[in-house]
């Protein structure tokens, strides 16, 4: 049995390809048998990226959301969450502060708020004008013309997780949304020249090794520049409040396989993984991940962006998280990159 695991892991590392059956076989193995998978993913990360870790500073600009995703604490029907929306000047201040802390990428993130598209465009222009920094948007689905407007304003990257490639599950957990539109959005963003990021929620009820294998083949097909996968964490004010939490082990398996199958794709050690395990982000960084995304949102807003409970970094300020993450990265014998960390997949010409 161990021989078969080794054979499949070696094949994945050498060819960046496995059949669906082979992926399922690996995902279904007990984590205690998968040391070799984790080790090879860590080696692949080192071979392709060295010991450099890229940081992305997240600014949570609005907790308003018009959607009702079954797992998420920001869902519209959660009337217990106090909502907030940052002013233009507050966003620009946060971005400048992130740049001062040495970040080379900021991520402007929100629920599916209808934050005026023109105002976002102005914010992007101003941030790009003030700083030599990459701007990533993580604002959910908008009209295709809006994606274009923001690209022309200077945005570099867009994150839009597909969450699950199982279309039935997607439709069940995202009432009023369309899986096709999500995938079309990702393709269009890529076509516009954005470096695109997707991701998966690991451990959603109803998901299994087969659907996770489909996630990996979809990610390969979309040829995304980044893939962020974190465990599902049940939230008390959502329909999935009584469901079981996603596991550290499955998340690490998925991240390690992502590294072997997607090679040059950036992989963050997610905050959700750091939330379910004190050393979750460290473990991910040693299982293929090469990115961390610390929060730089002003402390007074942080508790109001409760996607899932017990989220880490609620009491901290931007500078605290920057220092904490630097310490974590150094403790692993790695170092914080001084570069923007653009997609390595981008070909010139």
Q: According to CB under 6 A, which one of 115, 158, 232, 301 is a site residue for ligand 5AD?
A: 232
- 65 is an interface residue for ligand SF4 by CB under 6 A: yes
Q: According to CB under 6 A, which one of 90, 277, 316, 342 is a site residue for ligand FES?
A: 316
Q: Closest CB to ligand FES among 75 and 104?
A: 104
Task: Give dist(CA 345, CA 323) in Å, integer.
Answer: 30
Q: Which residues contact 303 (CB under 8 A, 6 or more apart)?
A: 314
CB 320, min distance to ligand FES, A? 6
By CB under 6 A, the residues from 117 to 156 that bind ligand SF4 are 140
List the x/- string, 74-113, binding to ligand SF4 by CB under 6 A: xx-----------------------------------xx-
List the x/- string, 183-202, binding to ligand 5AD by CB under 6 A: ----------------x-x-
Residue 177: Cβ within 10 Å count: 18
Task: Give dist(CA 110, CA 100) in Å, integer.
Answer: 23
Task: Give dist(CA 288, CA 252) in Å, integer.
Answer: 9
Q: Which residues contact 145 (CB under 8 A, 6 or more apart)?
A: none
Write out 239-287 in H/E/C secondary structure. CCCCCCCCCHHHHHHHHHHHHHHHCCCECEECHHHHHHCCCHHHHHHCC
- 126 is an interface residue for ligand 5AD by CB under 6 A: no
Q: How many residues bind ligand SF4 (CB under 6 A)?
A: 9
- 294 contact, one of ligand FES, ligand 5AD, ligand SF4, none, CB 5-8 Å limit per kind: ligand FES
Q: According to CB under 6 A, which one of 235, 259, 281, 322 is a site residue for ligand 5AD?
A: 235
Q: According to CB under 6 A, which one of 52, 298, 320, 342 is a site residue for ligand FES?
A: 320
Task: Give dist(CA 10, CA 260) in Å, integer.
Answer: 9
Q: According to CB under 6 A, which one of 197, 230, 274, 288 is a site residue for ligand 5AD?
A: 230
Q: According to CB under 6 A, which one of 13, 72, 127, 292 is a site residue for ligand SF4?
A: 72
Closest CA to 40 of 73, 86, 66, 6: 6
Q: Which residues contact 51 (CB under 8 A, 6 or more apart)?
A: 333, 334, 335
By CB under 6 A, the residues from 282 to 311 that bind ligand 5AD are 307-308
Tokens of 348: 């010139």
Tokens of 104: 């080379």
- 69 is an interface residue for ligand SF4 by CB under 6 A: yes
Q: Give residues in contact with ligand 5AD (CB under 6 A).
A: 71-72, 161, 163, 199, 201, 230, 232-233, 235, 272, 307-308
């Amino acid at each position: 049995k161990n021989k078969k695991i080794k054979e499949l892991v070696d094949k994945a590392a050498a060819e960046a390809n496995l059949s669906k059956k082979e992926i399922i076989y690996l995902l279904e193995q007990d984590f205690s048998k998968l040391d070799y998978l984790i080790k090879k993913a860590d080696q692949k990360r080192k071979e392709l990226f060295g010991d450099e870790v890229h940081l992305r500073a997240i600014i949570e600009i609005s907790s308003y959301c018009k959607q009702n995703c079954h797992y998420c604490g920001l869902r519209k029907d959660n009337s217990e969450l106090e909502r907030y929306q940052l002013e233009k000047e507050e966003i620009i201040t946060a971005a400048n502060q992130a740049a001062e802390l040495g970040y080379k990428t900021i991520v402007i993130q929100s629920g599916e708020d209808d934050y005026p598209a023109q105002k976002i465009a102005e914010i992007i222009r101003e941030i790009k004008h003030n700083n030599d920094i990459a701007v990533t948007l993580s604002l959910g689905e908008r009209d295709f013309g809006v994606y274009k407007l923001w690209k022309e304003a200077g945005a570099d990257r867009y994150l839009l997780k597909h969450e699950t490639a199982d279309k039935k599950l997607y439709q069940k957990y995202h009432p009023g949304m369309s899986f096709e539109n999500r995938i079309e959005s990702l393709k269009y963003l890529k076509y516009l020249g954005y470096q695109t990021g997707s991701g998966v929620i690991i451990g959603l009820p109803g998901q299994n090794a087969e659907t996770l294998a489909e996630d990996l083949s979809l990610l390969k097909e979309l040829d995304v520049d980044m893939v962020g996968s974190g465990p599902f964490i049940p939230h008390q004010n959502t329909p999935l409040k009584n469901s079981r939490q996603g596991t550290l082990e499955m998340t690490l398996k998925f991240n390690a396989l992502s590294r072997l199958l997607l090679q040059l794709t950036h992989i963050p050690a997610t905050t959700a993984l750091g939330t379910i395990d004190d050393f979750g982000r460290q473990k991910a960084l040693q299982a293929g991940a090469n990115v961390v995304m610390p929060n730089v949102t002003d402390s007074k807003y942080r508790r109001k962006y409760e996607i899932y409970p017990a989220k880490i970094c609620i009491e901290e300020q931007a500078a605290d998280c920057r220092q904490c993450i630097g310490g974590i990265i150094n403790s692993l014998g790695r170092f914080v990159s001084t570069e923007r960390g653009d997609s390595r997949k981008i070909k010139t010409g």
